[in-house]
């Protein structure tokens, strides 16, 4: 049996976390555009974040979206029947961190976003094909965007749920 100290010596510490957020889009004369937030290190992603005590995934996604973008829940139209997941891992603070991201889909009419400078250094609205290119090597995030795009266009039943998104 491996003790705690032996486990620490045999490899990095491991942390599992669940975060929630939104894939946000708006309709423009050029087509559907998706909101991506820019973090340091050439890393683009959707608004998302950690749960606060007593929150469910949807409340977390709404709160984090407002904190990171300034978009209020009243400025989002949550699309019923869509919820997808992205799983990935990264290293931080000497730990291997496994993330499970719960993503909902929402439409907005707002084009102006007020990012939180402590978390992001930029944002942009991208047409689908440009967003896929910008997301680069993040295959899970690209798959989630494709699922959302197909869902918006009515081309996928993959994400339809028997229960409403929570």
Q: What is the pLDDT of residues 86-136, one digit of tens each?
A: 887 667 778 887 888 999 999 999 999 998 887 877 899 999 999 999 998
Task: Output DSSP code: residue 53.
Answer: T
CA-based angle 102:70:88, to the nearest 5?
A: 25
| Token pair 């209020």 in the structure block, residue | 72
Let me know if residue 166 belongs to a domain. no
Let me know if residue 106 belongs to a domain. yes
Domains: count for the chain = 1
Q: What is the pLDDT of residues 26-78, one digit of tens each?
A: 999 999 999 999 987 778 999 999 899 999 999 999 999 999 999 999 999 99
Q: What is the pTM of this model?
A: 0.81
**CATH number of the structural domain spanning residue 113:** 3.90.79.10
Closest by CA position to 135, among listed 5, 16, 45, 27: 45
Q: What is the pLDDT of residues 128-165, one digit of tens each?
A: 999 999 998 888 999 999 999 999 999 755 444 433 34
Residue 40: how many other CB atoms lie within 10 Å = 8
Measured distance CA(110)–CA(119) in Å, rounded? 21
Let me know if residue 20 belongs to a domain. yes
First to last CA, the chain: 40
């Amino acid at each position: 049996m491996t003790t705690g100290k032996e486990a620490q010596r045999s490899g990095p510490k491991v942390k599992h976390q669940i975060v929630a957020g939104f894939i946000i889009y708006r309709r423009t004369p050029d087509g559907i555009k998706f909101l991506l937030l820019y973090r340091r290190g050439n890393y683009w992603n959707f608004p998302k974040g950690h749960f606060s005590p007593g929150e469910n995934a949807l409340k977390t996604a709404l709160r984090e979206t407002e904190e990171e973008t300034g978009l209020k829940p009243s400025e989002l139209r949550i699309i019923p029947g869509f919820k997808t997941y992205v799983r990935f891992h990264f290293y931080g603070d000497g730990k291997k961190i496994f993330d499970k991201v719960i993503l909902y889909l929402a439409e907005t009419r707002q084009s102006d976003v007020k990012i939180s400078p402590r978390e992001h250094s930029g944002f942009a609205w991208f047409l689908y094909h440009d967003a896929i290119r910008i997301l680069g090597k993040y295959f899970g995030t690209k798959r989630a965007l494709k699922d959302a795009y197909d869902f918006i266009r009515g081309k996928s039943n993959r994400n339809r749920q028997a229960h409403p998104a929570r």
